[in-house]
Amino acid sequence: MNTQPLLSVRNLRAHIGTPRGVVRAVDDVSFDLAGGQSLGIVGESGSGKSVLARAVMGLMPARSGRSGEVTFQGRDLLALTKKEKLEVWGKQIAMIFQDPGRSLNPVIRVERQLTEGMRRHLGVSRSEAHSRALSLLDEVGVPDPERRLTNYPHEMSGGMRQRVMIAIALACEPDLLIADEPTTALDVTIQRQVLDLLRRVQRDRGTSMMLISHDLAVVAGRTDRVSVMYSGRLAEIGSTREVFENPRHRYTHALLGATPTIDHARHAPLRLITGSLPDPTAPPEGCRFQPRCAFALGECSTPGLELTSVGADHDVACLNPVVLQETAISGGTSDGR
What is the tens place of the pLDDT at every residue in 235-281?
A: 999 999 999 999 999 999 999 988 777 676 777 777 788 889 999 99
The 3-state DSSP class for residue 7 equals strand
Taking CB atoms within 8 Å and a gap of at least 24, the contacts of 308-313 are: 310/248, 311/238, 311/242, 311/246, 312/242, 313/225, 313/238, 313/239, 313/242
The 3-state DSSP class for residue 129 equals helix
Query: Do residues 20 and 281 touch, judged by C-beta distance below 8 A?
Result: yes
150-199 confidence digits (pLDDT tens): 999 999 998 899 899 999 999 999 999 999 998 877 788 888 888 888 89
Q: Could you tell me what percent of the chain has a pLDDT over 90? A: 67
Has residue 299 got a pLDDT over 60?
A: yes
Predicted TM-score of the model (pTM): 0.89
Start-to-end Cα distance in the chain: 47
Mean local confidence (pLDDT), 210-220:
90
Q: Can you give the pLDDT at residue 11?
A: 96
What residue ranges do the domains of the chain occupy?
7-223, 229-330
Distance of alpha carbon 15 from alpha carbon 191, whole angstroms: 31
Query: Do residues 140 and 197 touch, judged by C-beta distance below 8 A?
Result: yes
Has residue 332 got a pLDDT over 50?
A: no
Q: How many CB atoms lie within 10 A of CB 54?
A: 21
Closest by alpha carbon to 317, among 246, 242, 229? 229
Tell me 90's DSSP state.
T
CATH class of 7-223: alpha beta
Q: How many CB atoms lie within 10 A of CB 323?
A: 12
Q: Can you give the pLDDT at residue 103?
A: 86
Measure CA 139 to chain center: 23
Closest by alpha carbon to 223, among 40, 15, 11, 33? 40
Has residue 333 got a pLDDT over 60?
A: no
Q: Can you give the pLDDT at residue 62?
A: 85
The DSSP secondary structure of 143-197, one letter per residue, reads SSHHHHTT--GGGS-HHHHHHHHHHHHHTT--SEEEEESTTTT--HHHHHHHHHH
Q: Can you give the pLDDT at residue 330?
A: 54
Q: Can you give the pLDDT at residue 221?
A: 85
Query: Do residues 152 and 109 touch, judged by C-beta distance below 8 A?
Result: yes
Query: Do residues 157 and 185 touch, judged by C-beta distance below 8 A?
Result: no
Q: Can you give the pLDDT at residue 101?
A: 80
Is the torsion defined by CA of 225, 141, 184, 266 positive or negative? negative
Distance of alpha carbon 207 from alpha carbon 290, whole angstroms: 37
Distance of alpha carbon 206 from alpha carbon 222, whole angstroms: 14
